[in-house]
Structure 1
Amino acid sequence: MTDTKTNAQYSLEPPEIARNPHGAYREIRDNAPVTELGGRSHTGTVTLSRHEDVMRAFQAPEVFSSDPGAVDIGNTRPLVPLQIDPPHHRKHRKALDPLFAPKQMAKHEPRVRELIREIIDRVADRGHCNFHHEIAEPMPSTIFLELLGLPTSRVEEFLSLKDGIIRPPARSLEERREMVNATGQKIYAVLEEVVETRMADRQDDFLSTLVDAEVDGQPLSRDDVVDIGYLFFIAGLDTVSASLECMVAFLAQNPVHRQRLADEPEMIPHAVEEMLRYESPVASAARITAVDTEVNGCPISAGTRIHLLVGSANTDERAWDHPDEVDFDRESNRHIAFGAGVHRCLGSHLARMELRVALEEWHARVPHYRLADGVELRFSQGIRQIDNLELVW
């Protein structure tokens, strides 16, 4: 049995905490660093909140496994490379890492910049927009679908499928499981169709590149390509959108920081890193214990789901100087917004490039903006999407 103390009084689900979780993070770190949080989504899951403990979990896959049992996202096979552990994981990362290296991502920047300008042009002269619906969702989604090799004409369908995995409108855990599994089968069907097409006729896209990729001298199997595509589908259609929304929401409410980016666009790469740390748009990561273990004196049984509270770790005063201050000049910023260890986000270089270019182009066209009067931002759980990000300028 897991012998952690249950602290139902600590929960990240109330809307006011979702909007500004830093106080709750601090209270959990100080009083219940190894705990079962209150709330439906955390039932039976042990949460680690201190930077040291989260890093230990990220860096010890032999103890804190990325086995598919850690999280339910509708897949019937392990997602490559996220849900396979060493030693098999290393072989796949060795093959995949060069495809997502900074130099490779730089080749896509001109097209990314062109797409972003087209999207911003639709609203720049209007004086207001819902940033979520009009910028943050269509921008990375269109870019990602083009890069992966899926038809951009079906973007609304694909976004609906993505939300069916991450944010299903379920009223119970059982209903959620059913919705997620049904959506997962639809995603598999989409990817299998496209992969079959690419195996017969290569195109200039990631899926074609994966079809030709090799691991230990052997080509990836059809299932491997589909499983990698499934992971990219979920991550690529959501995390960059949510990250951009968190950043723009922060800047809209902090005019000094916003003005600095308008005046000094060369600071934007530093600002991206600092806001990834402070906002931690992907606020948590899931693992499952492969063996019995112990954290901070608390025994944890094998087979226990683990919730790594990345947002808390990124603002832990034990690891950061002035963690609650957003400092674009911060000299050392080893945040873990993209995870850490062997499972660190494969697409981090693409995400950084998209976020940087989006903020450069947005502030070149719309340098002075703020939240619309009366807006109380709604942040979703887990991945911190803001669907009512209403801006005026």
Structure 2
Amino acid sequence: MENPAFLTAPQAVFPGLRDQRTVSLGERGVLLTRSADIATLLTNPEVFSSGVGVTQTGTERPLIPLQIDPPKHREYRRILDPLFSPQRMKEMEGPITDLARGLIDTIATDSTVDFVPRFSLQFPSQVFLALLGLPLDELPTFLKMKDGFIRPESITGRPRGHEDSIALLKTTAASIYEYFDAVIADRRSTPGEDIVSRFLRTEVEGARLSHEDILDICFLFLVAGLDTVSASLDCMMLHLALHPERRRVLVDDPALIPNAVEELLRWESPVMMVARFATQDTEIAGCPVRRGQVVTGLLGAANTDEREIPEPEAVRFDREANRHIAFGRGPHRCLGSHLARLELRIALREWHARIPDYRVPDNFQPTFTTTIRSLVALPLQLGQSA
């Protein structure tokens, strides 16, 4: 899965993987490639757990609600889901639009731009700062914490399992806890309308979030929410730059952008895989699995499975029913999916309203990161000549 050719065009590899149905990863576990099998994996948490045993992250506790299984997971979602409902996120559209326009204002008059540092890294982080009620000058701190935890190897120059990278990951995790400890304490003394203040005062059937709960939720949002939206923007913009006819459709008819977001999430599947570990000896997709073994679902393969998606090889912005699982499925379906969709729709809408013409340089060869398909760089040439 770390092959550069696979990361650049995984859709070409998925049919062969689906033909195999499962791929043995030896002692590391089993890889599932078909939509129905992955649905089974994601909708049976009593057998395939999302608990902290999947990855040892260096955090003090499981991240909420991602690494908590039912029934406790349902208690957290009952409190959190209303705070991230479509209606609640709709209230953020104006402020998020302003953030997107502000970034695009700094880009629109340029002839060339690297989309990654100038927009896709900054925009989701600015949105997160707005949600927390924090000033935008905190952005460098957030990006440093995110990168130090998610990709310590890119900073140390050592493999992720090397002691230097592990040390940086643990140091970064401690700094994230310390940072959000201070934010929560400040909101207790001076509450506002930001998301942390809402965490503190929300009560459902007498249940409230503890200090540690809020700390773990904020930690998850930092390390998961920012990177996944950035990666999605990278994949979408590269796709549109390489397919000017599809880009032109969105410029001419912005009403198609919500559909385009769903279709590009399906086709690109920026979050490539999800992992669960077996709580007992079992079987899935005809493959025996031992207790404690990791079972991984390849989301991109599911999202291009002809058994589930009609004409999966066609990228169509007029697709009426889009049953992709880019945000997962089952009880652990992404809590922030409505916010992510809003960010992506706004980003594509505002970018194409201001910068309708762009392309990648002729000799550009994309380099993707693993697991989450974000780009290391995305140089764009802007303007009519594009």
The verdict on a shared fold, with TM-score over 0.5 as the criterion, is yes
Matched, 1:101 2:85: yes
Alignment of 1:28-107 (within 5 A): 28-31=17-20, 33-36=22-25, 44-107=28-91
> Which residue in the other structure is 2:379 paired with?
390
Residue 94 of structure 2 is matched in structure 1 by: 110
Aligned counterparts, 1:350-389, within 5 A: 350-389=339-378
Q: Does the CA-based 8 Å contact 1:80-1:231 persist in structure 2?
A: yes
CA distance in 1, matches of 2:212, 2:360: 45
1:26 aligns to what? 15
Deviation for aligned residue 1:181? 2.4
Are the equivalent residues in 2 in contact too, given 1:91–1:216 (CA < 8 A)? no
Check 1:273–1:377 CA distance in 2 against 1; reply closer, same or farther (3 A cut): same
Task: State how far apart, in whole Å, the 2-side matches of 1:331 and 1:341 are.
Answer: 22
CA distance in 2, matches of 1:57, 1:165: 27
Q: 1:276 aligns with which of 245, 261, 265?
A: 265
1:16 has 2:15 as partner: no
Distance 1:172 1:368, change over 3 A: closer
Equivalent of residue 152 in structure 1, options 136, 142, 148: 136
3-state SS, counterpart of residue 276 of structure 2: strand
Aligned partner of 1:217 among 200, 206, 228: 206
Q: Percent identity?
A: 45
Q: What CA deviation, in whole Å up to 9, does each residue of 1:324-343 have, x standing for no partner?
A: 21111112101100001011
Number of aligned residue pairs: 377
Q: Secondary structure at the match of 1:123?
A: coil
Within 2, Cα distance between the matches of 1:363 and 1:273? 17
Q: Which shifted more, 251-260 or 22-31?
A: 22-31
Match of 1:241 in 2: 230
* Pick aligned residue for 2:284 from 295, 308, 318: 295
Higher mean alpha-carbon deviation, 344-353 vs 26-35, is at 26-35
Mean alpha-carbon deviation: is it higher for 165-174 or for 282-291?
Answer: 165-174
- 1:216 Cα deviation after fit: 4.1
For residue 46 of structure 2, give the secondary structure of its aligned residue in structure 1.
coil
Q: In terms of mean alpha carbon deviation, does 356-365 or 179-188 score higher?
A: 179-188
TM-score (norm 2): 0.94
Give 2:107's aligned residue: 123
Contact 2:281 2:289 in 1 (8 A): yes
1:229 and 2:222 are equivalent in the alignment: no
Q: Return the alpha-carbon distance in structure 1 between the equivalents of residues 59 and 294 of structure 2.
A: 17
Query: Following TM superposition, by how much is the alpha carbon of 1:137 offset from its aligned partner in structure 2, in angstroms?
Result: 1.0
**Paired residues of 2:22 and 2:287 also in contact (CA < 8 A):** no
Gaps of 5+ in 2: none
AA aligned opposite 2:342: M
User: In structure 1, how many angstroms separate the alpha carbons of the residues matched to 2:170 and 2:32?
Assistant: 27
Q: How far did residue 275 of structure 1 move? A: 0.2
1:136 deviates by: 0.8
Give yes or no for contact 1:272–1:352 (8 Å, CA) kept in 2.
Answer: yes
Is contact 1:34–1:298 with CA below 8 Å preserved after alignment?
Answer: no
Cα distance in 2, alignment partners of residues 306 and 157 from structure 1: 35
Q: Aligned partner of 1:102: which letter?
A: P
Q: CA deviation at 1:151?
A: 4.1
What whole-Å deviation, never above 9, does each CA across 1:322-368 have from its counterpart, x for those lacking one?
A: 21211111121011000010110011111111100110000001111
Question: Secondary structure of the equivalent of 2:13?
Answer: helix
Counterpart in the other structure of 2:171: 182
Q: Residue 174 of structure 1: CA displacement?
A: 4.4
Note if contact 1:162-1:234 (Cα within 8 Å) is conserved in structure 2: yes
CA shift, 1:34, in A, is 3.8
Give the alignment's TM-score, normalised by structure 1. 0.92
Q: Which moved more, 1:233-242 or 1:21-30?
A: 21-30
Q: Is contact 1:133-1:387 (8 Å) kept?
A: no
Which residue is equivalent to 1:307?
A: 296
Cα displacement string for residues 210-269 of structure 1 (whole angstroms, at most 9, x for unaligned residues):
111235413211101101111111122211111011101000000110000000100000
Q: CA shift at 1:30, angstroms? A: 1.2
Q: Give the SS at the match of 1:299.
A: strand
Matches within 5 A, 1:163-178: 163-169=147-153, 170-171=158-159, 173-175=161-163, 176-178=165-167
Give deviations 1:121-170, integer Å, cap 9, x for gaps. Answer: 11111122100110111111111111023443121221122122222213
In structure 1, how many angstroms separate the alpha carbons of the residues matched to 2:189 and 2:41? Answer: 42
Cα RMSD over matched residues? 1.5
Q: Which of 310, 320, 323 is 2:309 aligned to? A: 320
- The whole-number CA distance in structure 1 between the counterparts of 2:206 and 2:256 is 43
Unaligned runs of 5+ in 1: 1-11, 38-42
1:266 corresponds to: 255
Cα 1:290–1:178 shift into 2, 3 Å: farther
1:137 to 85, 97, 121: 121
- In 2: Cα distance, 1:92 partner to 1:254 partner: 42
